[in-house]
Amino acid sequence: MAGAVRESAAFDLVAAQQGLDAQPFSRLVQARITEFGGGAATLEIDIREELLQQHGFVHGGVLSYAADNTLTFAAATALGPAIVTGGFSIQYLRPARGRTLRARAEVVQAGRRQAVCRCDLTMIDEAGEERVCAVAQGTALPLNAPADGQG
Amino acid sequence: MAGAVRESAAFDLVAAQQGLDAQPFSRLVQARITEFGGGAATLEIDIREELLQQHGFVHGGVLSYAADNTLTFAAATALGPAIVTGGFSIQYLRPARGRTLRARAEVVQAGRRQAVCRCDLTMIDEAGEERVCAVAQGTALPLNAPADGQG
Amino acid sequence: MAGAVRESAAFDLVAAQQGLDAQPFSRLVQARITEFGGGAATLEIDIREELLQQHGFVHGGVLSYAADNTLTFAAATALGPAIVTGGFSIQYLRPARGRTLRARAEVVQAGRRQAVCRCDLTMIDEAGEERVCAVAQGTALPLNAPADGQG
Amino acid sequence: MAGAVRESAAFDLVAAQQGLDAQPFSRLVQARITEFGGGAATLEIDIREELLQQHGFVHGGVLSYAADNTLTFAAATALGPAIVTGGFSIQYLRPARGRTLRARAEVVQAGRRQAVCRCDLTMIDEAGEERVCAVAQGTALPLNAPADGQG
């Protein structure tokens, strides 16, 4: 829905990575942003032992962190950086294992009051094969909402 | 809904903390479990700098990790430890700041096919005052589902 | 969270029922509002054959209608009538059967940008016993958002 | 994800419409099924006055009914007809107006314990133009779950 997307050339991939690096928790998780713009954002996390749960799969909390952050970065391509995450819903599809977690979110619709985004979470294995392991949808709200919005 | 809850005395708070400690990501976050049993579970995380986002509030990913894990531990009090998280929905209410994050989840209903739980996420400040900052609801599914369940 | 609730005495139960009656679809379903105020709302629907699904239980679409509307009416007790439903999440707990469907929603938090509400959906049987059959949580957004809200 | 979909030739579009017609509430709403198979289902509803809310838009409860039912029909193409809806999350994007509501759902993943589906809800206007007005994602659970499933 590119027509609904108001992009700022200044707020590009480099700035997005700086925004991500300004989050201490994203540095703890060691997330990187690999796509930012045009109503979409992609976050990647290389999987290491401390991101796992007790059975050796990626912890659901890592997946939900990635969904939360990627949905919000995608929304920022439409609404600008002054936004807050409203909330999201995530469904886990299968145990997540592999080399790299990739979360890709797209803006479905961005209005004056909120942006609604969807996110696919995939695991990439050693052979480079990608397999979806969770899906999410959520909203972000502008910090400075319109005075008399119609939506 | 205590009647729907099948508790195992052996899987108690100590075992629950061991289960949590068996999750490398929960050790990274430094979560502890302070209640486990009777259809409810409580998780606490002392807030330190590396759990924050860029504005000094607790990162949404920490809140969603806590919701995910607490919902599943609450479900485990009803379904036993052999479960997987099905998914959840979380809504953020206000910026989360304070000394300690507390997530408390309760089983709403546990059947043969899934348990549905709700979770309140609160921040406790230096004075000990508690304030809700997010709410979630989600499901967990038994690994060994019934052969001919009716729900 | 009564402190966050801005009630209007003029927008009371009678006005709420008029608001409900102004919705043709609510007249088709034959919903009535039995509580409105103080951050909460209750909707009731007497069950008749045309509200069922193929196995004789109340159709999930009737439950989701009730969740949608009750969440929004509860939000209206805090935000006033000029709101739109943002969305919601619903989990079905068991087949819904009985004489009357009751949906009761409460505001968890109401800010300048959105209100977050939770809803319990119960079925009341011939003996007057009430049993929860679904739970929901959702948001409503003010039509006229603040010019420079902080949440 | 056609590989995950187990289709039954006998449970085709005609049978799906019969299944829909067996739901009294779907007859009340006057829904029809226009696609069923291969991991997807489409439901359509011609808009008439009694499906509206107080401002002349399609009532959110009609949209949530359509999401609920279409997600479950899509899941049935993968899991067979013996399923129950687990729950879903819906986000409203804009006021829904037009001639016909179309809900199209696709299976994202179908395992032994649940199927996860996504749904787009669009309005088709008099000129035949289609515009998304809501998105949903949800789950359906098999009535007869596996005895020792691994997901």
May I ask the CATH architecture of the domain D13-142?
A: Roll (3.10)
Q: Select from D63, D24, D35, D34 the least CA-distant residue to D47.
A: D63
Q: Select from A98, A105, A95, A103 the least CA-distant residue to A123.
A: A98
Are the beta carbons of D69 and C60 separated by less than 8 Å? Answer: yes
Local confidence pLDDT in tens for the 151 residues of chain D: 333 344 444 458 999 999 999 999 999 999 999 999 999 999 999 999 999 999 999 999 999 999 999 999 999 999 999 999 999 999 999 999 999 999 999 999 999 889 999 999 999 999 999 999 999 999 999 987 554 333 3
Closest Cβ–Cβ partner in C86, C89, C149 for A145: C149
ipTM: 0.89
Cα separation, C66 vs D65, in Å, equals 10
Are the beta carbons of B135 and C151 separated by less than 8 Å? Answer: no
pLDDT at A131 over 90: yes
Are the beta carbons of B118 and C111 separated by less than 8 Å? Answer: no
Here the tokens at position A151 are 């939506």
Q: How many CB atoms lie within 10 A of CB A15?
A: 16
Q: Which of A24-28, B116-120, C88-92, C141-145 has the lowest mean pLDDT?
A: C141-145
Residues of B in contact with C139 (CB under 8 A): 91
Q: What is the pLDDT of residue C145?
A: 57
Average pLDDT, chain B: 90
Cα separation, D11 vs C57, in Å, equals 22
Cα separation, D61 vs C85, in Å, equals 11
| Per-residue pLDDT tens over the stretch A18-73 | 999 999 999 999 999 999 999 999 999 999 999 999 999 999 999 999 999 999 99
Percent of chain B surpassing pLDDT 90 = 83
pLDDT at B148 over 50: no
Substitution target in A91, A94, A112 with the highest count of D β-carbons within 10 Å is A91
Are the beta carbons of C146 and A143 separated by less than 8 Å? Answer: no
CA-based nearest distance A148→chain B, Å: 22
CA dihedral over B18, B23, B28, B32, signed as positive or negative: negative
Would you list the domain boundaries of chain A? 13-142
pLDDT at A151 over 80: no
CA-based nearest distance A49→chain D, Å: 23
Grouping H, G, I as helix, E, B as strand and the rest as coil, residue B22 is: coil
| Residues 6 or more apart whose Cβ sits within 8 Å of residue A71 | A85, A88, A105, A117, A119, A136, A137, A138, A139, A140
Q: What is the pLDDT of residue A12?
A: 86
| Per-residue pLDDT tens over the stretch B20-73 | 999 999 999 999 999 999 999 999 999 999 999 999 999 999 999 999 999 999
Closest Cβ–Cβ partner in B114, B141, B148 for D144: B148
| Per-residue pLDDT tens over the stretch B16-34 | 999 999 999 999 999 999 9
The contact set of D with A (CB < 8 A) is: 1, 89, 91, 93-95, 108-109, 111, 116, 118, 132, 135-137, 139, 151
